[in-house]
Structure 1
Amino acid sequence: MLSSLTIRTLASLLCLFLGLASLSSPLSARDSNAAVLAGKRVISVGADYNFPPYEFAGEDGEPTGYTVELTQAIAEVMGVHIEIEMADWQTIFEDLHSGRLDVLQGIAYSDERARSIRFSSAHSIVNYSIFARKDSPVINDVTQLKNKEVMIQNASIMHEYLIDNNIQAIIIPVQTHAEALRLLASGKHDYALTANSPSLYLSKEMQLNNIHAIASPISGQRLSYGALPKNEDIIALFNEGLAILKNTGKQQQIYEKWFGALEPAPFPWKKLGLYAASIIIALLLAIGAISIWNAMLRKEVEKRSNQLKSQQEQLIQADKMASLGILVSGVAHEINNPTGLLMLNLPILKAAWIDALPYLAKHAQNDPSFSLAGLKFERLRQELPYLLDEMDQSTLRIRNIVNDLKDFAREEPNEITQEVNINDVVSTAIRLVDTSIRNATDDFELYVDKRDPIIIGSAQRVEQVMINLIINACDAIEKRQDSIRVTTTLSLDEKEVLIVIEDQGKGIDPANLIRLTDPFFTTKREQGGTGLGLSVSAAIINTHQGKLAFDSEVGKGTCVTVSFPVYQPNTAMEGAFSNTDIFELPKKNKSLS
């Protein structure tokens, strides 16, 4: 009968051909000085020196393998120079975090790693199996590794997996897969949890015939390019290069070069008649497994593609904000100069009017027809103080708007560590979109929580979210008597800050509700909408550990709720407010300034 190992080996090797498309075109990465002189960007790339056939040191000591050729091909099509540095995995992983390396070319994705590392779309899928000696007991689940000595590559994704899932195995860290397999074959320790393709490759090369894979209970891991957030532009570059190579077919060419030669072991045909039924069943199972795996891969590719789009949107928005910052700096300077003169001269005009008023009144007594600027003196005496006050208030409003624009466009660090007063941020956002509100509705109300809710975050980015949501509410309004209401408050347990934007506009089709934050989705394409606003806003809210919720009914309006974790540096004041102290009085349109 066909052994279960043979069936699993067949399925694993067949799955390799259905991995994400790959491509290649060798590019020399030797002469850094020549690259600099040629104007090419030089990027340092880290690779594992013993992870065949993905990446390893060849007989001449030079980097080779699937991901090495893929990286060289990307460098060629994108016009950059790369320098590949090889070491054990733990070393290059630490070098990435220290900033000595710009990017790793074969790092497995995990949600934990994604908190500090930016990932490209996946270029391959690697499967992991539990390897054992042929006389060892067979196990089918990682939980059975409890209290067993399990060799694992140090700092690898499986090392993190065993720790994060509390498997309670006795972890034996080693530098390479080769070391783990060699020790296992020599009788040391109980099991090895290693990658399938490298382990099969190394077992064949080292002629280790007494070990085999006994279980593959862990789903495939996506291998990608990975870099620190400060090098997100490098990830965008590699993503674009991958797309080009995939479309030209070169990624598949490289993939077939390195994985096409891995043929499954021949079936035992000595008793073909007796085993015919078993072989047919095995093939049917393999086809079924491949179909399921292929469906899973499609979902993973779609997920990673959506993440890539989101990253591209953020880069677009960052570029727009940088341009806006430059523009605002120049415009603010030009506006502030005449505004400063007005603020300086208006008080002098007021004082001059007050000083001249007795003389003008005396002259008016002698000449009843006395007029100034085409107005009778009595009328001018009543209206001129109001005119001067309005000019003074308008000048202050110009200054506030310019300052708000400068704050909105100012570049901020990536770290979100500011104490942000939500009432201040919302009020500033409303000042910035005052014109849009006035053009949309005659019924605008603002309610702010008198407890001054505070969050930890970026005031500029939260402002950006509020501006986008309020403008969307204005766009939804079809009649000037329809209202817009903005409210800030705390949740009942006072653990969240809530910002609620309600409008009586046209509402949102239920079919579109689940797509509102999708990149490039918009119902306002004809009006110039790009579909980036809500997607960027959702990403900002997620970065602040917040939530974004929509409730809408066609023809009746929409309610958007943004929630952030509240920051409470001093909990001694909890409960110090009564219900009647929570809100300030509503502010109408006329008080927005």
Structure 2
Amino acid sequence: MFRYCLCVCSLFFLSAFDASARGQTDSTNNLVIIGGDFNYPPYEFIDKEGNPAGYGTELTKEIAAVMGINIEIRLGKWSDMREAIENGEIDVLQGIAYSAERAKLYDFSPHYAIVNQSVFARDDQPTSINSIEDLQGKEVIVQKHGIMHDLILEQDIKINLFTVDTHADALRLLASGQHDYAVVANLPGLYVGQEFALSNIKPVGQTFAAQRYGFGVKKGNEDLLAKFSEGLAILKNTGRQQEIYDKWFAALERSQYPWKKVGQTTAIVSLLLLISLGGIGVWNRMLKKEVNRRAEELKQQQKQLLQADKMASLGVLVSGVAHEINNPCSLVSMNISILKGVLRDSEGVYEAHYQQHGDFNLGGIPYSRMREKIPYMLEDIATGAQRIRRIVDDLRDFARQGPLDLSEQVDLNLVAEVSIRLVDNTIKQSTFAFSTELNKALPTFLGNKQKIEQVVINLIVNACQALNNPQQGIKVFSYVNEVRGMVCLEVQDQGRGIEAGDLSKLNDPFFTTKRDQGGMGLGLSVSSGIVQEHGGTLEYESVLGLGTRAILSLPIHVRGEAI
């Protein structure tokens, strides 16, 4: 404290001496206007009592006291503050991020903080953002004239920018379901998200390096900036800056759970438990193995009984549900065709009225917007009806009773070629790298060609849906497994893969890893039933993050066998 007071007094006398020597008026007689953002916590903001607060605000006040500067702090919209310093209405921005372009307009003090910028997204957009190019073509919310607004404009990338006054406005707008992403400072963004309980948004990546954050003045006002830089250096050297930093930031660090200490305690307790239980564990191991073996036998028997009962019950249930759904679905499909004709016939009347009388409401929405949306809305309804019909067909297949007619000699290669043609559009939309390798000497099998086509289509569509981007590939190839006496078709994808614990559930009815994409979990269950009736197997191998192999195996038809 003695060193701090001595330093302050010395600087005060030196400043007074220097000012009198140059014939200038004492700085305490001149009012310096300080500008800043009114909603940028924890750096600067208006508190509940209506007063300027925050880490940067408190630094400003301390520097003014040390340097003997008479100040007035004005916090407002950031775009207004940028305009005010350009017009000479304020003298200093107490918090501004540095960039090379901004350095052409402003002079900057040494930074007192490092600010990271984050891309925030809603939970329904889990994609991570690794570079600014990932935002191309997206709707992005930024603070007007903020550093991210400036930097994105400098990049000249095709991003649809939407500007707001504050970071809070950006995150609230995103959380309400509007636009795709918000790019804001990480710490203010987290503060705002916590304050307003915006639980459906989260940071998904960073696009720019961290920025230096400090005081800024209009180009040419070096004398004033030098005082703030000098005052900041004094606060740093005396430890006062660290005290202010701890006030605003250390509380966050202290509030984090002490995992390290918990881990150490847990390790000690675990070690003691291991020592005490070691002897007991060795004695119990052999007994446990025997108990587990017998329990597993009982469990498998119980599973088989439960599965048989479940399948019988589900068969009765879904056959009735399929019939009830199909009737209104047919009505929807028929009415959609009529409505499309009505729209075509009425477009001219609507457009003429629009040209003569201007915009008008149609269904509560301006016609200027509805004329483009109605065809897409009708098409979405038609697509939805078709999807319902496909689900009904799956339900019917699932509930089907009685054996299939398996008297047809089937070429698995021809089945694969037909299936690929039927889903050609899906393949083209999903991947640029689709290939086939079909063994021309493939023997036939006895079965139902149409039903095996259904199985292969399900496998190819699942592979397409597993891809993360079109660069990832899919390969379909056939071969003979002479050891097993099987003809085989494999569908390999380079997609996201499947959790090891889920592989055994893939053939279970209504199990799906794509519930959020509308998956019903019937495709593979139905396919498994078809393959089993053919005396074959449907197996899966997968590595998470690398891809999945689906192997369809069917018994070879030996010439001379009864058909």
TM-score (norm 1): 0.39
Indicate the structure whose relative CO is greater, using CA pairs within 8 Å and at least 6 residues apart. 1
- For the pair shown, which has the larger CA radius of gyration, 1 or 2? 2
TM-score (norm 2): 0.41
